[in-house]
Structure 1
Amino acid sequence: MKTFTDQIGNTHTFTETPKRIVSLVPSQTELLFDLGLEDKIVGITKFCVHPYHLKSTKKIIGGTKKVHIEKIRLLQPDIIIANKEENTLEIVESLKDIAPVWVSDIITIDNNIAMIEQLGQIFSVRTQARQWIDKINFGLADFKEYIKDKPEKRAAYFIWKNPYMVAGNDTFINELLKLNKITNIYEKNEGRYPEVIVQKMRIQGDPHIIFLSSEPYPFKDEDAFELGRHTHHAQTIFVDGEMFSWYGSRLVKAFPYFKQLRERMVDHDHDHDHGHHH
């Protein structure tokens, strides 16, 4: 008997190592694969696109917000892996009688490491979990060294249009922006993904950079142009949303991506609130 408390405080007891996993979270599906658990994954969502071949080898049980309960029941999972933000409380409640629903809640890199560690214990793949944690810690230390003398930037990180929505506080995206020495101009707004009035962007904090995430909304060039008009010459950059919002093993790839991203940023020498450039 092993007992685990998930990241929202629910306790789950397993008499043996779970062998049939349904994953309701794309980034956690990728992590389970990277932990060597491919053969134990029986069901995934239609958004679980990494690694790509799983879509054809595993049963698709719906999306992240809308799951097909009967399909999950027929798979006879002995654990269902969910996430507080990606999935709804209703989904978690509706699946509890099928199998234990282990829920992650990830805002910080530390939360992410704790999740990897616990999944390593639950599935008896501690060594693999440790290897991924070491890779993350190594990449993080290296990136912190790289970024430490780079200038601070102000940015807005857009995730949706009609209405315009941004990443706000208490989000993994915001934590990664901070790591990149980027101040989120919407960090003080109410809500984790606030709706914003883009006409007020200058007053709100006049960003140096507007990030347009590749997911969940497919932004176009005209969106970049439209948003840029509401700033003093902000640079608009289309970014890979997976690098900013996927936790799990994806972080290992995110650090080199962030370095490349920084190299694309133009220096704002005309900006006076950054002290002197040498």
Structure 2
Amino acid sequence: MQLPTIHSLPLTVTDQLGRRVVVPFPPQRIVSLVPSQTELLFDLGLSERVVGVTKFCIHPPEARQSAVVIGGTKNFDFEKIAALQPDLILGNKEENYREGIEELAASYPVWISDIATLFDALTMIRQVGLLTGTAARATALATEIENSFASLSATQPPLPTAYFIWRKPYMVAAANTFIDDILRRAGFVNIFAGQQRYPKITPAQLAAAQPQQILLSSEPYPFREKHLEEFRILCPTATVRLVDGELFSWYGSRLRYSAAYLRQLAIGS
């Protein structure tokens, strides 16, 4: 007996930029332009519906084998995307570029996240679950993450901390960033919270700020052991440490592991 065809129904949703997006529900051909959101889609059980990812979508490892790589987060291959005929594209205000998103939005449903806090990330997870038909699974995941952070408490007086994301020039995470919110929740005081977003910092500015701790992120710049001494010379009294940038800045399902990591990091400070 032939089963009846299930037709997609239009679902109108509002993304985190306040844009109204009409998506066939449930979407069957999803392109993800954001690594952390790609991992989220796979963890929501949507691997067979993810048809396109970026070259930076390294989690899960099979994502770039099972889906077509459509370029980077800031340089899309529009021909490859067109060939995939997506019925939903997931992007992000910060990680993607406006011109590319606008070009895609002229032809496809494009839902954009805008993440500056843990609350924003949890909202994104729940909303992605809603628009992909995996609301129950997404809600459970968001609740798990929310509870893990609720139990995170500082084990020591807050440490004045600098979090570096780049070298040559030096750049740090400052106010109105997701990393800044995570630092605060972990019990660290961001010494550059008086500046906005990702400012360039000179060695003199760093020394004058007198951080007690310097965190060197594994991404986007790949800080390594060889860079530790460079910062110890700049700030001889500070503790300089390498940290897992994914657990500070990936705002999808990887957040399940962040609170435990931050707890251990604080204990070791």
TM-score (norm 1): 0.90
Q: Confirm or deny: 8 A CA contact 1:6 1:102 kept in the other structure.
A: yes
Q: Which residue of 2 aligns with 1:245?
A: 249
Q: Deviations over 1:3-27 (max 9, x none)?
A: 1110011101134321110000000
Aligned to 2:96: 87
Q: Is the aligned partner of 1:263 residue 2:264?
A: no
- 1:50 alignment partner in structure 2: 59
Q: CA offsets per residue over residues 65-101 of structure 1, 9 Å max, x none?
A: 1111110010000011000010011111111133111
Q: Which residue of 1 aligns with 2:124?
A: 115
- Measured against aligned partners, the alpha-carbon deviations of 1:124-149 in whole angstroms (never above 9, x if no partner) come to 111101110121122112213xx2x4
- State the alpha-carbon separation in 1 of the partners of residues 254 and 24 from structure 2: 31
Partner of 1:154: 160
Q: Which moved more, 1:191-200 or 1:219-228?
A: 219-228
Q: Any idea what the Cα deviations from partners look like across 1:176-220, whole Å, max 9, x if unmatched?
A: 00001111111112x31100002232322x111110000111223
Residues 16 and 114, structure 2, Cα contact 8 Å, conserved in 1? yes
Match of 2:240 among 218, 231, 236: 236
Q: Which residues in structure 2 correspond to 1:1-278 (within 5 Å)?
A: 1-144=10-153, 147=154, 149-189=155-195, 191-204=196-209, 206-265=210-269
Give yes or no for contact 2:23–2:88 (8 Å, CA) kept in 1. no
> Could you say what secondary structure the match of 1:3 adopts?
strand
Deviation at residue 263 of structure 1 after TM alignment: 2.3
Worse-matched range after superposition: 42-51 or 94-103: 94-103
**Which residue identity lines up with residue 198 of structure 1 in the other structure?**
P
CA distance in 1, matches of 2:23, 2:179: 33
Q: Aligned to 2:81, what secondary structure does the other structure show?
A: helix
Structure 1 outlier segments of 4+, above 2 Å: 220-223
CA contact (8 A) 2:213 2:240 kept: yes
The offset of 1:253, in angstroms, is: 0.6
1:221, distance to aligned residue in structure 2 (A): 3.1
Whole-Å Cα distance in 1 between the matches of residues 77 and 216 of structure 2? 31
2:164–2:215 Cα contact (<8 Å) kept: yes
1:148-194 CA deviation, whole Å, 9 max, x = no partner? Answer: x42100111111111111111110000000001111111112x3110
Q: Which runs of 5+ in 1 are unaligned?
A: 266-278
Aligned length in residues = 260
Measure the CA separation in 1 of the matches of 2:168 and 2:102: 31
For residues 67 and 87 of structure 1, the distance between their equivalents in structure 2, rounded to whole angstroms, comes to: 9
Q: RMSD of the TM alignment (CA)?
A: 1.2
- Which amino acid in structure 2 is aligned with residue 171 of structure 1? T
